């Protein structure tokens, strides 16, 4: 009857209201390994601000920087266990899930960050966001950091200067091959351990972006930085299919839109910080800058370029060509 229907809807309203009033916001944990004063650190905080202002009381973003919650060795596994809902590892850290992303690790492939951006936004670049879907990982977008530089306790002017030296690398076989190509010894280690490894001289050097070298003070425990711009360090924002699909469509869209806007800010900061943090490092006078002559740089290119063909089958020749064609 109308009466019972009315009662039922009244009951639903009352229950709905009281459920709504007591419901805890859905928590999105965003874990990363870098400092807050980096492109990724700032992007994460912007994302939190946007989501929480657009979905107040409904969603909450908890950001865990500096490998506080999870580090390089476990963040992707934690994502698949839904212990964390969002991570943004460097593109060099997906080796266990796909070999294709290693295209980004090929030395001297991209001329500059504009080329990196063009490739990421291309059809081939966008397809790579789905390259780990069979593993349950959803790529939501790219985020820039910048070009990598070499640092060490000796001047690396020519490839021979790296011979016999130990370098910390991210977990990528392409990067390992890049160092082996110059007779160096690559050591795969999590980001959280780099400073101590350098400080105790357990390793001789490493490669990273200006903002990571600055924010983690690597320049204080190295004598030289070679401005090599030999490769790119960028990120993929990833979530798990389980978590992503659990979100109502309208909320998911707001969250994705917030992420895109936060990424735009992060990308802008990435460009700025590459210059600013470089300058802060030079101003500190703690480390000497090695600027390569065109001939010296060419010697590094010649030594490292064979890595491309070494990984052609694993990465795919077409993909390498697509990436290369993003250079103007
Ligand atoms: C590194 O391990 O050196 C970087 O991937 C850290 C980061 O997330 O920028």
33 lines ligand 1 (CB under 6 A): yes
Distance from the alpha carbon of residue 306 to the mean position of ligand 1, in angstroms: 25
What is the pLDDT averaged over residues 55-69?
Answer: 98
Residue pair 148/231 in contact by the 8 Å Cβ criterion: yes
**Looking at residue 106, what is its pLDDT?**
98
List, in sequence order, the alpha helices (H) in 187-325: 194-199, 210-215, 241-246, 249-284, 294-304, 306-310, 312-315, 317-324
Most informative mutation of 176, 231, 233 for ligand 1 (most atoms within 8 A of CB): 233
Distance from the alpha carbon of residue 33 to the mean position of ligand 1, in angstroms: 7
Distance from the alpha carbon of residue 90 to the mean position of ligand 1, in angstroms: 6
Q: Which is nearest to 251 in space by CA: 104, 85, 63, 117? A: 85
CA distances from 209 to 29, 202, 239, 246 (A): 26, 21, 25, 36
Distance from the alpha carbon of residue 34 to the mean position of ligand 1, in angstroms: 7
Nearest CA to ligand 1 atom 1: 191
Nearest CA to ligand 1 atom 3: 191
List pLDDT tens digits, range 206-223. Answer: 999 999 999 999 999 999
145 lines ligand 1 (CB under 6 A): yes
258 lines ligand 1 (CB under 6 A): no
What percentage of residues in the chain have a pLDDT greater than 90? 93
Q: Which is nearest to 30 in space by CA: 3, 51, 53? A: 51
Q: Which atom of ligand 1 is nearest to the CA of 212?
A: 9
**pLDDT tier at 22, thresholds 50, 70, 90:** low
**Looking at residue 105, what is its pLDDT?**
98
**Looking at residue 23, what is its pLDDT?**
86
- 320 Cβ contact partners less than 8 Å away, ≥ 6 residues apart: 103, 106, 109, 308, 312
Q: Which atom of ligand 1 is nearest to the CA of 207?
A: 3
Rounded to 10 degrees, what is the CA torsion of 156, 193, 186, 291? -20
Mean pLDDT of the chain: 95
Say yes or no to pLDDT of 4 above 60. Answer: no
Residue pair 131/98 in contact by the 8 Å Cβ criterion: yes
CA angle 264, 267, 272 (to 5 degrees): 130
Q: Which atom of ligand 1 is nearest to the CA of 93?
A: 5
Whether the pTM exceeds 0.80: the reply is yes
Mapped onto helix, strand or coil, the DSSP state of residue 170 is coil
90 lines ligand 1 (CB under 6 A): yes
What do you get for the CA distance between the two ends of the chain, in Å? 73
What is the pLDDT averaged over residues 274-290?
Answer: 98
| Residue 287 CB neighbour total at 10 angstroms | 18
Q: Which atom of ligand 1 is nearest to the CA of 168?
A: 3
Query: Which pair of structure tokens corresponds to residue 302?
Result: 């010649």
Distance from the alpha carbon of residue 12 to the mean position of ligand 1, in angstroms: 50
Distance from the alpha carbon of residue 135 to the mean position of ligand 1, in angstroms: 22
Alpha-carbon gap, residue 173 to 99, rounded angstroms: 9
Task: Give the long-range contacts of residues 317-323, CB within 8 A, separation 24 or more.
Answer: 318/124, 319/100, 319/103, 319/124, 320/103, 320/106, 320/109, 322/119, 322/122, 322/124, 322/125, 323/103, 323/104, 323/106, 323/109, 323/110, 323/119, 323/124
Mapped onto helix, strand or coil, the DSSP state of residue 34 is coil
Describe the chain by its helix, strand, coil percentages, rounded to 5. Answer: 55, 15, 30
Q: Which atom of ligand 1 is nearest to the CA of 33?
A: 8
Alpha-carbon gap, residue 217 to 281, rounded angstroms: 9
Least confident of 17-21, 47-51, 235-239: 17-21
274 lines ligand 1 (CB under 6 A): no
Alpha-carbon gap, residue 261 to 275, rounded angstroms: 22
Distance from the alpha carbon of residue 295 to the mean position of ligand 1, in angstroms: 29
**Burial of 24: CB neighbours in 10 Å, binned 0-12, 13-18, 19+:** exposed
Nearest CA to ligand 1 atom 5: 90
**Looking at residue 21, what is its pLDDT?**
57
Say yes or no to pLDDT of 98 above 60. Answer: yes
């Amino acid at each position: 009857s109308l009466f019972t229907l009315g009662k039922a809807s009244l009951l639903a309203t009352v229950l709905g209201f009281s459920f709504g009033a007591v419901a805890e916001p859905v928590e999105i944990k965003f874990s990363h390994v870098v400092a807050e004063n980096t492109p990724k650190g700032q992007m994460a905080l912007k994302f939190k601000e946007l989501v929480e202002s657009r979905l107040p009381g409904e969603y909450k973003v908890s950001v865990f920087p500096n490998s506080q919650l999870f580090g390089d060795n476990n963040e992707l596994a934690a994502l698949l266990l839904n212990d964390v809902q969002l991570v943004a590892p460097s593109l060099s850290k997906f080796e266990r899930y796909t070999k294709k992303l290693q295209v980004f690790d090929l030395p001297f492939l991209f001329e500059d960050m504009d080329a990196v951006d063009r490739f990421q936004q291309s059809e081939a670049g966008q397809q790579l966001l789905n390259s780990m879907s069979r593993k349950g990982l959803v790529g939501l977008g790219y985020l820039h950091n910048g070009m990598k530089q070499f640092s060490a306790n000796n001047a690396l002017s020519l490839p021979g200067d790296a011979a016999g030296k130990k370098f910390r690398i991210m977990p990528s076989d392409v990067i390992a091959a890049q160092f082996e190509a110059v007779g160096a010894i690559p050591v795969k280690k999590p980001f959280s351990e780099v400073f101590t490894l350098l400080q105790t001289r357990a390793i001789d050097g490493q490669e990273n972006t200006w903002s990571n070298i600055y924010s983690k003070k690597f320049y204080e425990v190295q004598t030289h930085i070679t401005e090599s711009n030999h490769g790119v360090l960028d990120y993929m924002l990833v979530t798990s299919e389980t978590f992503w699909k659990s979100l109502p469509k309208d909320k998911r869209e707001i969250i994705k839109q917030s992420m895109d806007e936060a990424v735009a800010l992060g990308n802008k900061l990435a460009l700025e910080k590459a210059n600013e943090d470089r300058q802060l490092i030079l101003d500190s006078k703690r480390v000497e800058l090695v600027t390569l002559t065109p001939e010296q740089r060419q010697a590094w290119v010649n030594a490292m370029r064979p890595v491309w063909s070494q990984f052609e089958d694993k990465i795919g020749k077409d993909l390498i060509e697509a990436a290369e064609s993003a250079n103007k």
